[in-house]
Structure formats: structure tokens, C-alpha cells
């Protein structure tokens, strides 16, 4: 015997495009202003497609700043521009060769530095109390955040993995944590 399937019909549902989409998002932003200031530090993110994706997320979440460091490719770059849909012109960003120097500069600007990293003292991202001014640090796709950069951070969070994989793509992990912080306490 098959289970009973309840189907709910949503009358006249249609996707939003153009002016309707802009009005919808503008109204939502007015009614749901984030109460946190977020930034991100990219430590030696190697692949331009990941950097472009992070620029796109930074724009979507209205990050105050992206700091690129180490071997992270910098705009202008054709892959970053294409994947990021030219958000490099909208998102404030800067380059600092040494990530530990960048961490110390961001701390002096009042940011609480949190690595998104599988580290021995990391806690699940949803159990961390993120301050109102937080900078998330993500590292190289294969090697992660270095020990020196981790040591300079105030804390570390990780995403629990329930499947066979040990980690997620850097821009996906960063996105999950950013949107969690934007909506914590709701």
C-alpha cells in the first residue's frame, strides 16, 4: 500500500523578474536590516572561480570588505569577473600579502576574527556566538588556513559533515556561515 501524498497547490505562483524582483528585494531589505557587520579574509584561495564566487556572495550579503592575501588571484581577472558577475566593482576589497598582518589590521579595526576551518578547537558554526563585527577567515582549497593565521584568530568554526566527504568547497562553506550569522537570533 502506498503512503498518502498530500499535495498543496500554491495559487498563481510565478517567479519574479525585472522590476518586480527589484521591488521585492528592496522591500525585504527595508524590513530585515542585518544587525551585524561582516568581512572576509581569503588566505591563499588558489582558484579564480572560488574567488569570483566569494565576490558574488560578498555582494549578496553586503559584506563590508574582502581582504585577499597570499596567492589569492586579484581582480581584474577574466574568471573572477565572469563567475563573480563583476561584483569586484561593487564589493570593497584590498590585497595584503601576509595574512597574519591582515588579521592584525582587521583586529585593530574592531573585527572579531573567526576561521572557518577544520581545527582541533573549532566548534560547529551554529553553536558559536558571533559578535556584531566579525571577519571570517577561509583558506586554501587543499591546505586550509595556516597554523600561523589560525593562531592569530579569536576562534574557529566548522561545518559538520554527515556524508562521506570531509569538507565542502570554500565558497559554499563561507556562504553557509555568512547567512547563518546574518540570521542568527531570528
What does the block give as the cell for 70? 597570499
- Among 96, 61, 54, CA closest to 77: 54
Kind of pairing between the strands at 123-124 and 133-138: unpaired
**Predicted local distance difference test score (pLDDT) of residue 2:** 59
What does the block give as the cell for 142? 587543499
Largest CA distance in the chain: 65
- Among 56, 133, 143, 64, CA closest to 99: 143
What does the block give as the cell for 149? 593565521
Query: For the domain bounded by 35-182, which CATH number is listed?
Result: 3.40.1280.10
Local confidence pLDDT in tens for the 186 residues of the chain: 556 767 777 778 889 999 999 999 999 999 999 999 999 999 999 999 999 999 999 999 999 999 999 999 999 999 999 999 999 999 999 999 999 999 999 999 999 999 999 999 999 999 999 999 999 999 999 999 999 999 999 999 999 999 999 999 999 999 999 999 999 877
**Predicted local distance difference test score (pLDDT) of residue 106:** 98
**Predicted local distance difference test score (pLDDT) of residue 8:** 74
**Predicted local distance difference test score (pLDDT) of residue 3:** 67
**Predicted local distance difference test score (pLDDT) of residue 7:** 73
Instruction: At 37, give phi and psi (nearest 5°).
Output: -115, 120
Say how far apart CA 32 and CA 35 lie, in whole Å. 9
**Predicted local distance difference test score (pLDDT) of residue 15:** 92
Amino acid at each position: 500500500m502506498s503512503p498518502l501524498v498530500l499535495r498543496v497547490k500554491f495559487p498563481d505562483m510565478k517567479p519574479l523578474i525585472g522590476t518586480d524582483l527589484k521591488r521585492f528585494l528592496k522591500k525585504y531589505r527595508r524590513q530585515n536590516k542585518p544587525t551585524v557587520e561582516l568581512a572576509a579574509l581569503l588566505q591563499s584561495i588558489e582558484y579564480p572561480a572560488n574567488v569570483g564566487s566569494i565576490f558574488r556572495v560578498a555582494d549578496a550579503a553586503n559584506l563590508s570588505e574582502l581582504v585577499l592575501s597570499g596567492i589569492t588571484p586579484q581582480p581584474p581577472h577574466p574568471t573572477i569577473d565572469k563567475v563573480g558577475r563583476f561584483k569586484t566593482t561593487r564589493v570593497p576589497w584590498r590585497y595584503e600579502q601576509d595574512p597574519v598582518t591582515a588579521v592584525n589590521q582587521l583586529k585593530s579595526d574592531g573585527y572579531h576574527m573567526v576561521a572557518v576551518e577544520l581545527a582541533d578547537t573549532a566548534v560547529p558554526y551554529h553553536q558559536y556566538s558571533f559578535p556584531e563585527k566579525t571577519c571570517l577567515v577561509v583558506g586554501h582549497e587543499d591546505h586550509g588556513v595556516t597554523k600561523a593565521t589560525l593562531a592569530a584568530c579569536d576562534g574557529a568554526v566548522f561545518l559538520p559533515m554527515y556524508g562521506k566527504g570531509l569538507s565542502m568547497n570554500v565558497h559554499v562553506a563561507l556562504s553557509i556561515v555568512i547567512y547563518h550569522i546574518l540570521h542568527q537570533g531570528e
